[in-house]
Structure 1
Amino acid sequence: MVHRLCVTCRLTYDLVVSWDVELTALTERITGPLFTRPEPRQTFSDLVRALLADVPRKNSWQLADHVGHRTAYRFEWLLNGAKWDADALRDEIRSYVLKHLGRDDGVLIADDTQAIKKGGKSVGVAPQYCGATGQVENCQVMPMLAYASSAGHTFINRRLYLPESWVDDADRRAAAGVPAHVTFTKPHQVIAMLTEELIAGTPFGYFCADSGYGRDPALRAFCHEEEIAYVMAVPVDLPLIAVQGTAEPLGHVLDRLLARGGVGLWERRSCGAGTKGARLYDWAAVAVAVKDQLPTCGFAHTVLIRRSIADPAEVEFFLAHAPTGTAITELIKTAGLRWKIEENNQSGKDLLGLTQYQVRKWAPWHRHVTTAMLALAFLAVTRASLPTDPADAPPRANQGKDRPPPEKTS
């Protein structure tokens, strides 16, 4: 786990010990109400620690081997056979994340990730577009919701998308244990997740998503009804109302802007820091009216146009719905936060086994993915609390006793 948290701070023996203490306290607090018996509590704790460990392939067998189980039976039973509620775990993760990362500047971000799978038995698996490879793959599609603030970012909610081949096959859904009340479209799944966050009182100022969600009028309408500010990527054919009152696609707005010439049209601004420094683009903004969709009272619609500096032909559009008078710089900054969920998707897959499960049914899928979410949340919270000065590190847990020397700086 240590290498997952190495940043510009001095890692000491006592700091690493404090992480172990905090992880133990977290899993004990969560498993208390989650399980009635001590055996699944210990197995769950072992699973979280194994997901956080440097295990090459995070399937049940290798995870079990890492923590010293003779077989994978305990992990497999925890995910497939034991009685516990993955949504209750999700709610505990939310409380934990908001306690440590919750801020008024928080942003909720929706995006899909995919798990490539073999065969056709795993719930929701079908030939579908896979963003990781850019082509159609036999995979599961997972709409995820992340929470990002100035303190950090991590997943806070999740769904599993069911394609038409599953929606139209009641026997197949029943065999996989899919509940009858499940919503099937990805935008409506995001609406359901946003509703859960509103009910929970999650503090956030904006909602962000890519164009797959930004193009959906039902999702936008929900945000308008609930007075949610958003900055969502939208397609070039988003229908707008022209000055003369007729409908026109968004692309015509760009054509008119370009026809005016480039003087004063574009401003070069950063939409946040990336791995190589400030992420600079050329930006333009224009007030718009969306066809058949008024903004919330006191709000306005603005289209942000982002142009690549290296390749001016590379353009992306964002539709902002924010209180009238909101600074364009704030909208640009919010647009840049959408990529935080990409980092969560990558970390979840590469480090924590988010998609390396060997379960096939509905309930086990939610159990594995939600447990991986807890592991990522722990990393995000721990990273947010890392001291930048060794003097700020927590006191030694075994003061005055023999102990190994401090670890070298990372």
Structure 2
Amino acid sequence: MKTTKKQAAAAATSLAAQHWPHLLNELTASVIDPHLARPETRSTAHDLIAALLTPLTRKNCWTLAEHAGHPAPHRMQHLLLRARLDERALATALRSYIVRHLGTNDVVLVVDETGDVKKGTSTVGVARQYPGTAGRIENCQVAVYLAYTTPTGHALIDHRLYLARAWTQDPARLAAAGVPDQRKFATKTELAQQMIHTALEHARSAWVAGDEAYGRNPHLRAYLEEHRTGYVMAIAATDRLPTPRGPVAMKELAVLLPDEAWHKLSAGPGAKGERYYDWALIDDRADEAGVWWVLMRCGRSTGELAFYRCYAPAPVPLARLVAVAGRRWRVEESFAQGKGLAGLDEHQVRTWTSWHRWSLLAMVAYAFLVAVRVREARHHRGRDGLVALACNEIARLLNALLASGSGSEHVLAWSVFRRAHQEQARMCHYRRQAAQES
């Protein structure tokens, strides 16, 4: 890439980045400020959001307060535990902010859970359970999240902390952790249903996707069908489908399908090109309430199989179901970015209120990065030889340009170099994939 192109790209990025602090102020003013009663706590919330977006090695009340210039962590701790904050209204404002920036076209809501390994037993929700991220039973917290995804981007739109029966059957433990009196035991699927119900008020035509933990639950599927909400939910290879010859396991049914039943389709672009698989669709049933299918996916190089139960209130083509299935992995990316860039998993708090406030504010900080990425992508045409700005690059630039000891030119030059290299690697991957597929 010529020097003039690099200089032009750096100048364009610099001009855009200068507006980002203003956008951050707009976020805090519109999403956070209306739901905090006092100006002091509003100021603390601004400091906390800004500090969450910094590349601190650890993010907790102490490190965030130190970065913000506070003499002690007490203001941060007060915000998370005792300040008058309308959390429900803040969550609604966050959803509206995300919907406004990501739009309502082609929405897929993706439900999933994530866990944080913890020591001790006093922290709210901590129990011996399976967190998913560790791959084995651990002493941990588990929370269920809902991601809002469109073709332009994705962000975490809602969350629920899971309380195992060991908690809900122990009133003294609940009281010590500040859990509301009315809180009863709810399965992860029931928590997911609560969030989906709320999200559908913002996007009535949305689809829903989820992994086996949610796809195998008949009550969640029945709820979605009752509300005429399309879904593509993963199920197990051992699940059975009724046939004229009796129930047949999915993995056995896949072997019986003829070669012409499989179709090569992309589940969407990935880091190294389009994610091509072979897909097969089996009609289950159809009536006035909708259409049901079983969707099968086969890895083209590995032969690995995956299975999905699908529903739509009206017939849709195979490509539409494949697109929804391919969107499920976006929640994993949202977890990685929310944790890596906004400290979603770094809360060192023990009570119900402080956990929810930390998680909610971290989701707000991450939503800001997503909104900026979408905004900049609208102006990016790919003609400058640079990959579009990603959330991690926006966070890096935002912090470096605000507090750079080596000058903005140096910071921008490195950003342009990274993005040019990433674009070259991306194009190389796509060309190699095209050659292999031809």
Q: TM-score, normalised by structure 2?
A: 0.82
SS for the counterpart of 2:112 is: strand
> In the aligned structure 2, how far is the partner of 1:301 from the partner of 1:24?
47
Deviation at 1:13, TM superposition (A): 3.1
Give the aligned partner of residue 385 of structure 1: 375
Give the aligned partner of residue 311 of structure 1: 302
Matches within 5 A, 1:9-408: 10=10, 12-179=13-180, 180-198=182-200, 200-244=201-245, 246-257=246-257, 260=258, 263-289=259-285, 297-312=288-303, 314-386=304-376, 387-388=379-380, 407-408=412-413
The amino acid that maps onto 2:223 is: F
Contact 2:37 2:85 in 1 (8 A): no
Deviation at 1:238, TM superposition (A): 2.8
SS for the counterpart of 1:159 is: strand
**Pair 1:236–1:12, CA change in 2 (3 A):** closer
Deviation at 1:195, TM superposition (A): 1.3
1:87-116 per-position Cα deviation (integer Å, ceiling 9, x unaligned):
221111111111111222111110011111
Deviation at 1:32, TM superposition (A): 3.0
Contact 1:112 1:141 in 2 (8 A): yes
Q: TM-score, normalised by structure 1?
A: 0.87
Deviation at 1:298, TM superposition (A): 4.6
Contact 1:167 1:184 in 2 (8 A): no
Worse overlay, 141-150 or 8-17: 8-17
SS for the counterpart of 2:278 is: strand
> In the aligned structure 1, how far is the partner of 2:292 from the partner of 2:213?
19
> In the aligned structure 1, how far is the partner of 2:300 from the partner of 2:219?
34
> In the aligned structure 2, how far is the partner of 1:296 from the partner of 1:115?
43
Contact 2:229 2:313 in 1 (8 A): no
SS for the counterpart of 2:344 is: coil
SS for the counterpart of 2:134 is: coil
1:202-229 per-position Cα deviation (integer Å, ceiling 9, x unaligned):
2543100001000001100100110000
SS for the counterpart of 1:243 is: coil
> In the aligned structure 2, how far is the partner of 1:9 from the partner of 1:379?
20
SS for the counterpart of 1:264 is: helix
The amino acid that maps onto 1:87 is: R
> In the aligned structure 2, how far is the partner of 1:251 from the partner of 1:309?
16
> In the aligned structure 2, how far is the partner of 1:230 from the partner of 1:183?
26
Contact 1:130 1:136 in 2 (8 A): yes
Once superposed, what is the RMSD of the aligned Cα atoms? 2.1
The amino acid that maps onto 1:361 is: T
SS for the counterpart of 2:363 is: helix
1:168-201 per-position Cα deviation (integer Å, ceiling 9, x unaligned):
2222112212222445101111111111123x33
Q: Which runs of 5+ in 2 are unaligned?
A: 1-7, 385-406, 417-438
Decide which structure has greater helix share: 2
Q: How many residues align?
A: 379
SS for the counterpart of 2:347 is: coil
> In the aligned structure 1, how far is the partner of 2:184 from the partner of 2:166?
15
The amino acid that maps onto 1:120 is: T
Give the aligned partner of residue 3 of structure 1: none
> In the aligned structure 2, how far is the partner of 1:155 from the partner of 1:380?
10
Deviation at 1:129, TM superposition (A): 1.4
SS for the counterpart of 2:76 is: helix
> In the aligned structure 2, how far is the partner of 1:346 from the partner of 1:9?
28
Q: Tell me the percent identity.
A: 37
**Pair 1:201–1:136, CA change in 2 (3 A):** same
SS for the counterpart of 2:277 is: strand
Contact 2:99 2:202 in 1 (8 A): no
SS for the counterpart of 1:135 is: coil
